Structure 1
């Protein structure tokens, strides 16, 4: 007798518009209606040209999906038959054989429906008809806002209809994404028949000792089981070897012929030689497999079986008072971890197209970039298991937002009930992943409190009183969600919002002394020069960014008309959703570079500028990591890692997984050992408003960078042991390529997991003696260990547009099929290979200084001399 069978209902589906009686085939489920319409040629690809506008009507319609399936035979269903819908987007009415079995209004909720009484008799041979009707989320959202005038539905970025709808918020469009309000069965649908079923598994553990290589762990297990079983057999495996076992008796009972559930709670077992899970770069990612079996009365028949992968790690969010305010950083297994990484948005506007390998590829890209953390932004989705499994395998820490972003959400009882189910299900699904280290209530919702003067008294700790204010969502973030996290994932870290600093830090009013901050006074806000980012940090920078174009091949994929391939074309403007981006992008480019308006040159300059901004931020804020007891900055997460469609945005990797030079700038700054050099920045954009009227105030001298030169040099280390190194500094003329003074060498003891200053506010003197050089030069720092080059950095005079890059003498020499060596006779800024999909390069967007070893770049997926390249002042040619 079969005890548990699963039938995937992934094929045989049809769909139609409610006003059209013609059914069209659906490729498969999971499905989203836009992808099916593109496949049938009903709408053009909305990612190309201006085609998004040709798909706006889709979101206004009602859509039907249907399929048929056979009733399981008596042999296969000796017990209960359920239909399971892992996710329906969003307002869905489900009928089975003409009878309504489910009404859903939350995209993030899984539904399980017992359908025994709705199925046709297996003996009749008549198949069952399953139909799902999806109403317009936009129309339903607008109807709700009109029906509830007592709540002020404030939303940023989009129209008000998204506020009351539990659906991916970015579907309404964002300042980096299109308006594509899709619908459909976006997650798998399946038919399950079973006698018993293991419904939930929670592993609680306490690490009682942390030692190198192994530690002591106390483990207890909690499970919910539906159906008859004499006992549970539970085994914990490491490398396919059982290291611990549990066993327990059932507490089964029956109710109306349908078996009810029972809860199993083990005692505490000790694992004296446990192997811990570590973030990448700090130790191995040891993972255990826990396997549960529900055993029948005969003692041998397995009625139900489930397994999960878990890892043991100790995580703390360290928030201690110090000289700079209150710290904010993560400590894993008693080791402080600098959380350098990225913010993540859904990797597609239609996530049903993403498979497990695609998620694995993305997480590998994060790991290869020396990043330690990824933040899942609150306007997207709770990602599928494949995403978190890859983070577990590769040691990437996950900051998990709940799905709330940039809005004032309602709190009527039905909404709170839906949010409770949503949160509980997803906490349970993700809590055993060792990579998930923090849950966060929302993204930027507290910004609305300040901007719209909403009610918020931090000292008021009565949750019921919050519901009576014009910011009732505080109840969700400071009462409901933290309570669910405590209940379902004991010991997990919860943070009310990002940003959050004890109720007073928002993106509008940044408090750098407490909590995490979103630093948008570069690009947005005050639009400060990105060279000032080092002084604009905080205890944890969870958002900041700078826009850049993707590589040319990507541009050509979404701009099919050659006449539109120029900066500022209608198509390019349409694909850049950032408000006022033209003024912002051109301002930053104009302040720093000599502008060129052809698309290849303009693209290259935006990329070099973005990489520069990332370099200034990551290396300087990592410097603020300091040392134990003096952690001024606990982490940096760029906005954003990825795109959901081909576009121009703040991403450092485009939709097709082609990396921009900024990706490599972060990779270099986040290396286990990274040397950094920065000179004093002279802001040539500053002109006092009253300079025309006062004799003592004039325009800033643009040559000041020549006469007032001081610089800092330091080494950042994430290694856990002391390292002896040599730092070499060279001063090379940009005009001639010759050294303008003797090089400096410093033996340095690099402290573990710290920043070690080599030179601080060092005053430059030409030739090693008195007087300043009258010639522009680049400062080149290199770090050597035992005669081997570990890393390097370069500091240039600002702005770059004042420099002449003629006659650089660049040579790109092919060594073999996949390797090139690059040299230059004079300093080169921003050497960039124009990457394309399917091709990987080991480094990009780097500077070249004569007198150093040739720069070696490895290229995978293409021939080494087939990529075009360019640098600042050079339009680019094929090598």
Structure 2
């Protein structure tokens, strides 16, 4: 049965009463060691449940919005307090009139250390944000028409975490990204702050609370299936049923609202047995007639079926009914030995899939305030950008049902981390019991989503082994021995979680990966080359902070993290910086909204290496966006090139860190908190087009010190002389079409940066076959011949285009580095408004990264693109903004 929160749902003695309104909250003050009892008027109104304490304090004007200016600092005290929520409600009338009626209180999520009191009696103690609770209330309900009083006391997660650290001195409690208290607490780890998010340790009933009365209830539905070569889908349906009496159970399989298959089991459970829970597992179905498989975006339709389970009484009344969506697909993680080590890529329904996607952090610091539609908007934005995977990062939460439903319906693959990140977690018995309950509950909730193709044990926890020289012997396969080392969490990732997955996902068996990154227990090149497993490529930005132009040679078998910071658009900056005096790069307010360690050094170094710097806020923000977009373009097109061909999959995919933000900030996100896209989002979209031509020139690191002349800057590639370095370039075509294309042509132009004229006759190359689902090397190692040029040596762009049947279907541009040495004056940009919402843009000379200023509510079809004279003008559709509002920037 679907639950529409905020409404009462009734079906034949089955009623769900959502406890959304009528709550109050207050801070609990300790007086001489005893809790005080405040007067009734000291309670404040709760807007609605789900709720969190920060949101209620904001709405009651007790604190300013922590997302604005420096207000985060004024909310720090909240984390160390104890808070209580209270509501009252009548006992369901049905309870007084029916002998066989269950009344359950359901608390879908309590954040985090919560004690539940029902009519003054302790009903529940919870210490895990990621688990739900269902409690039989029949012994607690008020009698004689009195109201029931429900109170939930939330103790400080920070203080409880510190207490647990003291209680378990046997463990090292190593954590990165904030303080040690988060390690032993099963709460969203990013609430302690991260290098992109604020420290906002909130609490409250963050998921729905409701009262459910029933004579029969259908709980977990498990659908095991296998697809044979016919193809036929063989299904087994298991349902957990709780009730007093059931005469029959009916199972139906529906597609597009039509019943395809059904099974009915006529049995009787004696009501004298009282309230009983049993597992119904007798429905065996075979889908023989052309089963519609679920496909990832770009490879077919994400077809979904519904499994409906219905129970009836002996008089034919429907007692309970529940539907669950499901999609049928085969997924493999292909890890096979090859010339490059061991592959790491996904195969869905027999088709190799190159992954181009993003990492996902929670959508907000205050998750109780995120509506379902916002999740849909985020996933739609991902899909619109030609991306096909989202990685749910392990420092957040197991996401909302709305998130995964959107992924199912839009064909987006999900890499799902378990909620462990950047720490050495303890393994004392109570902790392991909590983790097991958490894992089982969330696997049961999420296992039917066809979009989830891999479960991963943690984010970057194995990196602590290398950094702190912890004990890890890959050859030791005894889980009990792992518990005795100084890295006992291996027991969780390589024993406990795999066991739970095995028992909770029989067919098809879920794919499991111990950690991200992970390759035979190691995560960096300190121990092994990046030729096995997935990697987080942070030698750009972090670590060595190498030039982003080096990324093509820095890939791995699967790049599950990499990134580059950028400011959001100006309108977003103005939203969180309200003081005009603070609106400059490096202001105290802007610095407080960039949580990255040493970001000033890193960001300014990259900007200084590549651009002529400006400290005007709008121009500075724009330059960071160009930097990020160039990084994304280089990475996605180069690593997609390494997809190669069947049997030669050097790189299986790339996921940018990160898609989104949890507050208005400056970060690695390619889309800001308000869903306003940065130019990098468009760069990924172009690189991940169904068919995309790519061009790159050999990179000469001008910041390096040449061995032959220690004093000389290596700028010959951009400041050419007769003794200049040769310009060497490659052109290739990537295609995700499953069939090869016949008859294409690649055209390469060489256009002067200073004049806009071709400095040499264009090159043309006929391509007999553009390889399907792979990369076609078109021009490799081409050396530019200045002897054939029509001008003296000068900087030029290389523009490559792909033509099929007389139509240009893709183009790409390579610029000389660094851009700061080039003269971009007098570009001759023309912006013509052809019709309402349509803009045509061209230039007399090459233009780098033409960016239209974006803001919330405005949708732009393309942005952050280059302009090359002699090519067709770029046409852009702008929705939600009048043409007069258009402003743009370019180098």
TM exceeding 0.5: yes
Alignment partner, residue 527 of structure 1: 545
Alignment partner, residue 34 of structure 2: none
In structure 2, the CA distance between the partners of 1:57 and 1:509, relative to structure 1 (3 Å rule), is farther
In structure 2, the CA distance between the partners of 1:570 and 1:168, relative to structure 1 (3 Å rule), is same
Residue number among 577, 580, 595 corresponding to 1:562 in the alignment: 580
Residue number among 6, 12, 27 corresponding to 1:17 in the alignment: 27
Residue number among 317, 321, 330 corresponding to 2:346 in the alignment: 330
Q: In the alignment, is residue 459 of structure 1 matched against residue 475 of structure 2?
A: yes
Cα distance in 1 for residues equivalent to 2:458 and 2:265? 40
TM normalised by structure 2 equals: 0.95
Cα distance in 2 for residues equivalent to 1:143 and 1:508? 36
Q: Is the CA contact (8 Å cut-off) linking 1:107 and 1:166 kept in structure 2?
A: yes
Cα distance in 2 for residues equivalent to 1:165 and 1:507? 31
Q: In the alignment, is residue 823 of structure 1 matched against residue 828 of structure 2?
A: no
- What are the within-5 Å matches in structure 2 for residues 221-300 of structure 1? 221-227=237-243, 228-250=245-267, 252=269, 257-267=274-284, 269-298=286-315, 300=316
Cα distance in 1 for residues equivalent to 2:740 and 2:85? 62
Residue number among 93, 106, 115 corresponding to 1:73 in the alignment: 93
Compute the displacement of 1:696 (Å): 6.3
Alignment partner, residue 877 of structure 1: none
Cα distance in 1 for residues equivalent to 2:383 and 2:485? 44
Cα distance in 2 for residues equivalent to 1:719 and 1:774? 40
Compute the displacement of 1:258 (Å): 2.9
Cα distance in 2 for residues equivalent to 1:531 and 1:255? 74
Q: Is the CA contact (8 Å cut-off) linking 1:87 and 1:107 kept in structure 2?
A: yes
Residue number among 440, 450, 454 corresponding to 1:424 in the alignment: 440
Q: Is the CA contact (8 Å cut-off) linking 1:248 and 1:264 kept in structure 2?
A: no
Residues 402-450 of structure 1: CA deviation (Å, up to 9, x unaligned): 0000001111111111111110011011111110000000000000111
Residues 743-766 of structure 1: CA deviation (Å, up to 9, x unaligned): 112222211000001100111113
Residue number among 502, 505, 514 corresponding to 1:486 in the alignment: 502
Q: Is the CA contact (8 Å cut-off) linking 1:199 and 1:223 kept in structure 2?
A: yes
Cα distance in 1 for residues equivalent to 2:113 and 2:358? 32
Alignment partner, residue 32 of structure 2: none
Question: In angstroms, what is the RMSD of aligned CA positions?
Answer: 1.6
Compute the displacement of 1:90 (Å): 0.2
Alignment partner, residue 712 of structure 2: 699
Residues 215-257 of structure 1: CA deviation (Å, up to 9, x unaligned): 4211111112112212210000001111111233558477974
In structure 2, the CA distance between the partners of 1:255 and 1:732, relative to structure 1 (3 Å rule), is farther
Q: SS at the partner of 2:810?
A: strand
Structure 1 unaligned spans of 5+: 873-879
Residues 331-379 of structure 1: CA deviation (Å, up to 9, x unaligned): 0000000110000000100011111111110000000000010000000
- What are the within-5 Å matches in structure 2 for residues 693-772 of structure 1? 699-705=712-718, 706=720, 707=724, 708-724=726-742, 725-748=744-767, 749-766=769-786, 769=788
Alignment partner, residue 152 of structure 1: 172
Residues 453-503 of structure 1: CA deviation (Å, up to 9, x unaligned): 111100111111111111111010001111111111121100000001111
Q: Is the CA contact (8 Å cut-off) linking 1:499 and 1:507 kept in structure 2?
A: no
Cα distance in 1 for residues equivalent to 2:667 and 2:140? 50
Structure 2 unaligned spans of 5+: 1-10, 30-37
Q: Is the CA contact (8 Å cut-off) linking 1:347 and 1:644 kept in structure 2?
A: yes
- What are the within-5 Å matches in structure 2 for residues 434-833 of structure 1? 434-490=450-506, 491-506=509-524, 511-687=529-705, 699-705=712-718, 706=720, 707=724, 708-724=726-742, 725-748=744-767, 749-766=769-786, 769=788, 774-833=793-852
Cα distance in 1 for residues equivalent to 2:127 and 2:808? 58
Q: Is the CA contact (8 Å cut-off) linking 1:97 and 1:118 kept in structure 2?
A: yes
Compute the displacement of 1:265 (Å): 3.5
- What are the within-5 Å matches in structure 2 for residues 359-378 of structure 1? 359-378=375-394
TM normalised by structure 1 equals: 0.96
Q: Is the CA contact (8 Å cut-off) linking 2:756 and 2:844 kept in structure 1?
A: yes
- What are the within-5 Å matches in structure 2 for residues 860-875 of structure 1? 860-872=879-891
In structure 2, the CA distance between the partners of 1:865 and 1:671, relative to structure 1 (3 Å rule), is farther
Compute the displacement of 1:263 (Å): 3.3
Moved over 2 A (4+): 74-78, 246-272, 505-511, 695-701, 704-707, 769-773
Q: SS at the partner of 2:390?
A: strand
Cα distance in 2 for residues equivalent to 1:443 and 1:161? 18
Cα distance in 2 for residues equivalent to 1:409 and 1:776? 54
- What are the within-5 Å matches in structure 2 for residues 322-361 of structure 1? 322-361=338-377
In structure 2, the CA distance between the partners of 1:470 and 1:530, relative to structure 1 (3 Å rule), is same
Q: Is the CA contact (8 Å cut-off) linking 2:717 and 2:816 kept in structure 1?
A: no
Alignment partner, residue 408 of structure 1: 424
Compute the displacement of 1:699 (Å): 2.9
Residue number among 222, 229, 253 corresponding to 1:202 in the alignment: 222
Alignment partner, residue 8 of structure 2: none
Cα distance in 2 for residues equivalent to 1:471 and 1:104? 27
Compute the displacement of 1:870 (Å): 0.7
